[in-house]
Amino acid sequence: MIDKQPFGRTGHMSTRTLFGSAALWVLSQSKADRTLGVLKYYGINHIDTAASYGDAELRIGPWMAQHRDEFFLATKTDKRTYQEAWEQIRLSLERLRVEQVDLLQLHNLVDPKEWDVAMGPDGALKAVIEAREQGLTRFIGVTGHGVTAPAMHLRSLERFDFDSVLLPLNYAMIQNAQYAADFETLLNLCRERNVAVQTIKSIARGEWGKKTHTRTVWYEPLEDQKAIDKAVHWVLGHQGVFLNTAGDVNLLPKVLDAASRFQKAPSDKEMRELVEGYGIKPLFT
């Protein structure tokens, strides 16, 4: 089984590995249902989805009739204005077949111009706050991709007391000195405020380039179990963080298997050898 820890200040004991439901993007319901079996086998009790993840919310919806109380359920809105965000939030609840989600997140809020709109007087933040006031969500978070994600999350936390953040974390990316410094500053602030820290892209190998896409993730992932073990264990070696699984159901069992066997983080030497051996490159520069 995979260890659990408090998901920030929410009061929920979430498994340290969360199900990233982008893996359900184009799946049939029958295949999605088999994925639910994998989650239950490993004891995963936290699902992270988004309105923009293709059919993911639609595939999760049927699970909620019987399993709603087994999962902390999070979704996201990528809209920036108040009205657009409200419309998307209502649609997500309908697609998920629930009256309330546990966490509603502003999705990939890293562009400064989009940030100004979303955080403005008629922005998406106003919509998610009202959604919380109306009992449609219990908590509010913010997510981001790219090298500016930790710095932008720090800016967001200055503006509003978010309950969670989400951003990339892998060994190759943390070699960027500025990213590493910003990530550490963000992590320390989140620990002080008891804000949950979710991480993504743990098993990213690099961009596909001219290679044939053999997985449903937009980047080339690690596929060898030993390599996945090291990448996953390195992330889980960061005290208190959560790891969101990759967006491919065929890789899901490997990531969960790695997480279930976590004891300690690999050494820096081991990680350098992993990067060199697999030609791992940072996704964001």
**CATH classification of the domain holding 146:** 3.20.20.100
The answer to whether residue 285 sits within a structural domain is no
Which amino acid is it at 126?
Answer: K
The answer to whether residue 284 sits within a structural domain is no
The answer to whether residue 229 sits within a structural domain is yes
pLDDT tens track, the chain, 285 positions:
899 999 999 999 999 999 999 999 999 999 999 999 999 999 999 999 999 999 999 999 999 999 999 999 999 999 999 999 999 999 999 999 999 999 999 999 999 999 999 999 999 999 999 999 999 999 999 999 999 999 999 999 999 999 999 999 999 999 999 999 999 999 999 999 999 999 999 999 988 887 877 787 888 899 999 999 999 999 999 999 999 999 899 999 999 999 999 999 999 999 999 999 999 999 888
Q: What are residue 137's DSSP bridge partners? A: 101
Spatial separation of the C-alpha atoms in residues 18 and 48, rounded to whole Å: 7
Which of 132, 143, 193 has its CA nearest to residue 9?
193
The answer to whether residue 263 sits within a structural domain is yes
Spatial separation of the C-alpha atoms in residues 92 and 107, rounded to whole Å: 13
**CB-CB contact of 102 with 12 (8 Å):** yes
Spatial separation of the C-alpha atoms in residues 6 and 247, rounded to whole Å: 24
The answer to whether residue 142 sits within a structural domain is yes
The answer to whether residue 192 sits within a structural domain is yes
Domain that holds residue 54: 4-278
pTM of this structure: 0.96
The answer to whether residue 70 sits within a structural domain is yes
CA angle 194, 231, 141 (to 5 degrees): 30
Number of domains within the chain: 1
